[in-house]
Structure formats: structure tokens, C-alpha cells
Chain A
Amino acid sequence: MNRLDRTDLLAGLFVIAMGLYFAIGGLEYRMGTVVRMGPGFVPVSLGVLAVILGAGICLAAFRRAGALPEIDLRQTLFVLGTIVVFALLLERLGLIPAAFLSVLTASAALPVTRPVSNLVLAVCVAVGTWAVFVLILGLPIPAFRFAF
């Protein structure tokens, strides 16, 4: 019973789910024919192809053993959280506060706490990105604003 590669099984299921999404979603649009393809033709065919490939990956997974991958939840969530923080704050507080706060979020991904160096880093990165993108490249991003 141990001959199952759980990672590959999950991988196959992912591909099947992706295929189903495009195949079923694509049915909403007109199919047309091979010669005159409608907007639904390509997504549906790709979706079906993906389901077949996904099934193949699943089947192959039963031929050998393998464990599930390990994921460091803390690191993953904080890295992704950094992007959320930046996206939410950029147009509300401006570039410098958004960059400052997201650097602090990113730093929290590692378990070691280094308050001073993190603050210094946050200031440097915030001022640095502002200098590169606004001062040098002249992009119209406000440095500070308050618009909630």
C-alpha cells in the first residue's frame, strides 16, 4: 500500500482541477468549429487535454512511493503577507510608509528577532525605492499621502 507518491498524486489532481476549470468555464462561450474557432474552442480543448495529462500524472504516482512536500507555513504566509500589505497601503499611505511597513512584515518571516536592524533596513529600503523609482525614473507615485 505504500507504493504511492503523494506529491505526484496531488500534482495530478491539481492539473485535473485546472483542466476542469478551463473546460467547464469555456463551455459558456461559443465553441465554433475547428476551422472557425469560437471563443470557447481553445479553452475547452486545453482543459480536456489538461484533464488527460493530470490523470496520467495520477496514474504514474501509484507506481512508486513518495511523501508529501513540507511547507514552512510561517515563512510562506509572511512573504505573501508582505505583498498584501504593500498592495493595500500603497495608494492609501504612499510609497514610503507602504514600503517601510511591508519590509517589517517581510522581516517577521524569520523567527529571529532583530528589531534594530529591521528598522534600519525598512528605512533604507523605503527611501531607496523612492529614490530609484520616483527621483531617478520619475514615476508618478506619491511618497506620502493619506487617503482612506
Chain B
Amino acid sequence: MGLYDNIILGFSTAISPVNLLYCFIGVFFGTLLGALPGIGSLAAVSILLPLTFSLDPTTALVMLAGVYYGAEYGGSTSSILLNLPGTPSNAITCLDGYPMAQQGRAGVALFTTTIASFFGGSVGIIALYTISPLLADAAIAMGPADYFSLMVAGLVAAAAVTQEEPLKGLAMVVFGLALGTVGTDIDSGVARFHWDMLELRDGISFIALAMGLFGVSEVILSLSTMDQRNVKQRVTLRGMLPTRDEWRRSVKPALRGAGIGGVFGALPGTGPTIGTFIGYTLEQRLHKDPSIFGKGAIEGIVSPETANNAAVQTAFIPTLTLGVPGSATMAIMLGALMMNGVAPGPNLINSNPEIFWGLAASFWIGNVFLLILNIPLIGIWVRLLQIPYHLLYPAILILICVGTYTIRSNVFDIFLVLTFGMIGFVLRKLRFQLAPVLIGFILGPMIEENFKRAMIFGRGDFTYLVKQPVSGVFLALTALLIGWAIYKTVRRRPRRSEA
């Protein structure tokens, strides 16, 4: 099938009433949860994950993806109005978005970020359309050894590249991999680490893990910071239009932001947040008068927001074509696919074209929904920001509990959420990043399987992994990353001196 047929197939899948409805539900709740500070896109996706359990895989993914990019759109609203980022990747938008709001130009900032997000998202989707099939074709030729090494490299990159403390990131990957060994070993039938609990023989529920690590710990951490805020801005449709000069100034930052975001989104471990930081810094360097940044420069919100939303879309490229998730949110997407019995990997595009192309088409539709939700209906979100956190967090906690329970009708899973909520809270207090835990947990079984197969291919020769050219390159890359992580830890200067 040519690209044209695939696009048609995608749209005919995406515009079915069910998919349209769930796409809308996804972006709507994504915007809602993203706009509320204290709930990032990751927590939003984890919390709403159980609702997709009864849906077919395409619809489930359409909705979850909608939640994700919806939350990234919505996150800029609270950055601008409250100086509190709705999601981590909107943090940089505070720098110039909030000053704009203080100057009474919140409407312009909101309008601009929405258009920038739409533009960034569109560039990301085009990249997804063009690169994914090529990448999947290339990946199909890869053997188990190549696959094993690719996943290891992806895992190490996700853990070490962006972390301030790479060793702690690697430790979290190992923790995630180890959690994946809980339960029955497929080859031998031996139940491992089951603590004499029947439920643990099936392994740790991935939803309970995600909910506990990201949902519960987030609520506890937000409680102390989130309870006081108020919005004084009145946002009217009329006051939203940027001046002609601002339009002109936005074009180049938007193009650069989309490029930067697109590249960093697709790489494992970097993701949207890094893209926004690089985009912002670049605009500041290139501008003839860098002093305007931080005081409400339109370039300072355009570049990070296009980068953010381009990255959000291109993050799906490695996830859907290689089965390698670059971030915790993507790990959840993969988990949702696997729960529905769809095997991720390079065969996905060919064996389930309706999932891939339908999802890609739903991104366009979702982005159009978001344009409507964020421009004419912006007033709703502004008013929502006034809901105090003390009314929100009890509802979020109950939603987490009920959601987890509905999956297996099992109270045990709620206690599992509690356990991982506690662990997640302690880990975050100890300055660990939790995303690598989930990525390790999801990739662990796939790495093990490919390793075993590679050993069969190589007749038990360990060096087979290195001798395969593609695999060898990935392993060399992994070694470099680990070496760099150690170097960075050893060379690190004292962070702050305490008298």
C-alpha cells in the first residue's frame, strides 16, 4: 500500500464515531488535567488509563494519546496565568508567558501558545507520517541480537542522558527491570518474589505501578505547594489576537522550535522538556537583543511551545516503529497496547495498519479539537484554574483507586498502588527520577526474550552480540553512554557549599 492509501485508511479509522468521540474525550480531559497545576501529562495518562481498558486497542490508544498531547496544550495555560507549569515541559513557558499575563496580555499569550502548539504538533505529525514507515522497514531486517542491543542502548540513554545524576538514573532502570522479574518465569514456570501472594504470581500490575509511582506520589508532593493561587486575568476573545509585529516575530522561532522539538522528541531519554529548554536558549542566543527575554517576549513562548508539541508527536515514532519507548508516557502507551494483545515492534505498522495510521490521523483531528478547545473555549479553563487544590486531590485519589480496582476487580491492586505510591514518594524525595523505572519495567521482558533468542542464533556464543554489525554499534554506543555517566559522576563539582 502506498502512503496515500494508508492516509485514507487512517482517516477512515479515525473518523469512525467511536474513535472521534474518544479522541475528543481524550483531548478534553487531557487539557483539563494538564491545565491544573500539580497533574502532569504523565499522571494524567496514568490516571485515565483504566478507562480505556474496555476499548479496542486503536480507540484506547487514540484516547490515551489525546490525553497526552491535550495535557501538553493545557499545561501552558497555567504557566501563563499562574506562573505554575501544568506539566514539566511547560515550565519554560512561564519565563515569558507569565510576564505577558502581568502586562495584561494573557489572552495574546494563550492564543499564541495554542497556535504554536498546533504548528509544532503538525510538523511532528508530518515527521511521524514520513519517517515511521522507513524506520519500521529498516527495523524489520534486524535480528534478535540487534534488537537486544537497541533496547539496551535506548534504556541506558533514557536513564543517563538527561539526568543530572546518571548513576541514579541507571539505578532506577535496574529497579524497573528487577520489578519486571516478579511473577512467574515463562520458561521454567517458577514463581519469583511472590511473597506467598497468589496475585503476585501474575507479576506486578503495570497500571498499579504507574498509578502509584506517578499518581499518588504526585498528589503528596503537590499538596504542600499547590493550595494558594488565584487568577485575576479576564481573557476575552478580542484581546487574544497578537499584533502584526508579533506574528512576524513568531515565524522563525516557530520553525526552529518545531525542528528542535521534533528531533529531541524522537530520541530516547531526551523528550519534550529538553527540546523546550534548547529551543528557548537558542532563541535567546540568536536574538539581537537578548535582554527582552524573561519580560514577556513572544519568541520566548513560541519556540518552547512548538518544540514541546512537535516532540510529543515524534515521541511516537520510536515507540510505534521499534517498540522502544523513550519516556515513561510512551512506556504507558506500549503497556496499553500489550494489555490489548498487540505486540509492539517493527511489524506493528504492517500487521495492524489501522492502529498506526488511525492513530496518526487521530492526531490531526485531536489537534483541531484542541484549537477549538483552547481558543473559543479558553474561558472555561481559566475558570477551572480557580478550583482550589483541596477540592481536587481527594477526587484524584478516589479516581486512582477506583480506576485500578476496575481492571481486575481486585482489592489487592489498590494495595499495590499504595505500596508503589510510598516507594515512589520516597524515591522522589531522594531525588530519583521515576520515568526509567517504568521504561525498564516495560522493556525488561522484551530484552530478556531477545537475549535468549540471540543466544540461540549465536549458539551460545556471547561474542555473537558484538560481532553482528548493527548490534555491535548499539553496544558500543551503550558503553560510551555508561562511560560518560561514570565520568560525569566522578567529575561533578560540589553542588552547593554548606557552611
| A contact set with B: CB distance below 8 Å | 2-3, 5, 7-8, 10-11, 14-15, 18-19, 22, 25-26, 29-30, 34-35, 37-40, 42-43, 46-47, 49-50, 53-54, 56-57, 60, 63-67, 69, 71-72, 75-76, 79-80, 82-84, 86-87, 90-91, 95, 99, 102-103, 106-107, 109-110, 112, 114, 117, 121-122, 125-126, 128-129, 133, 137, 139-141
Contact = CB atoms under 8 A, between A and B. Distances in A.
A141 B411 CA distance: 12
Interface in B164-188: 165, 167-168, 170-171, 174-175, 177-178, 181, 185, 187-188
Interface in B462-499: 462, 486, 489-490, 492-498
A26 B391 contact: no
B295 interface: no
Interface stretch (B141-149, B317-325, B344-352, B397-405): B397-405
Given A2-B498, A57-B165, A106-B397, 19 more contacts: A14-B427, A25-B193, A29-B185, A34-B455, A42-B181, A42-B448, A50-B178, A60-B167, A65-B494, A79-B216, A80-B220, A82-B397, A83-B401, A87-B411, A99-B398, A107-B394, A109-B223, A117-B391, A125-B395
A73 B455 CA distance: 50
Contacts of B417: 83
B478 to A, nearest CB: 14
22 contacts: A7-B430, A8-B431, A11-B430, A19-B174, A37-B187, A39-B188, A43-B181, A49-B174, A50-B175, A53-B170, A60-B489, A66-B498, A72-B224, A82-B397, A86-B397, A87-B418, A99-B398, A125-B394, A125-B398, A129-B398, A137-B51, A141-B406
Contacts, number: 200
A103 B406 contact: no
A140 B408 CA distance: 11
B219 interface: yes
B395 to A, nearest CB: 5
Nearest to B399: A129
B174 A50 contact: yes
A40 B400 CA distance: 34
Contact of B492 (A10, A63, A86, A107): A63
A39 B432 contact: no
Nearest to B393: A106
Interface in B181-209: 181, 185, 187-188, 190, 192-193
A137 B54 contact: yes
The residue among A7, A14, A84 with the most chain B CB atoms within 10 A of its own CB is A14
Contacts of A69: 429-431
A57 B397 contact: no
Given A8-B431, A86-B398, A140-B409, A79 B178 contact: no
Contacts of A126: 398
B418 A46 contact: no
Interface string B205-229: 0000000000010011001100100
B193 A64 contact: no
Contacts of B462: 34
Contacts of A63: 492, 494
B390 A114 contact: yes
Given A18-B178, A46-B181, A87-B418, A67 B190 contact: no
A129 B271 CA distance: 34
Given A102-B397, A106-B397, A90 B455 contact: no
A65 B498 contact: yes
Contacts of B406: 133, 137, 139, 141
B21 interface: no
Q: How extensive is the interface on chain B, given as a class?
A: 35 or more
Nearest to B394: A106
Interface in B363-409: 390-391, 393-395, 397-402, 405-406, 409
Contacts of B405: 90, 141
B129 interface: no
A35 B460 contact: yes
B193 A43 contact: yes
Given A57-B167, A141-B405, A22 B178 contact: yes
A83 B411 contact: no
Contacts of B427: 14
B498 A46 contact: no
A110 B390 contact: yes
Contacts of B216: 79-80, 83
Which 5 pairs from chain A and chain B are nearest by CB? A64-B494, A106-B394, A35-B460, A39-B185, A65-B498
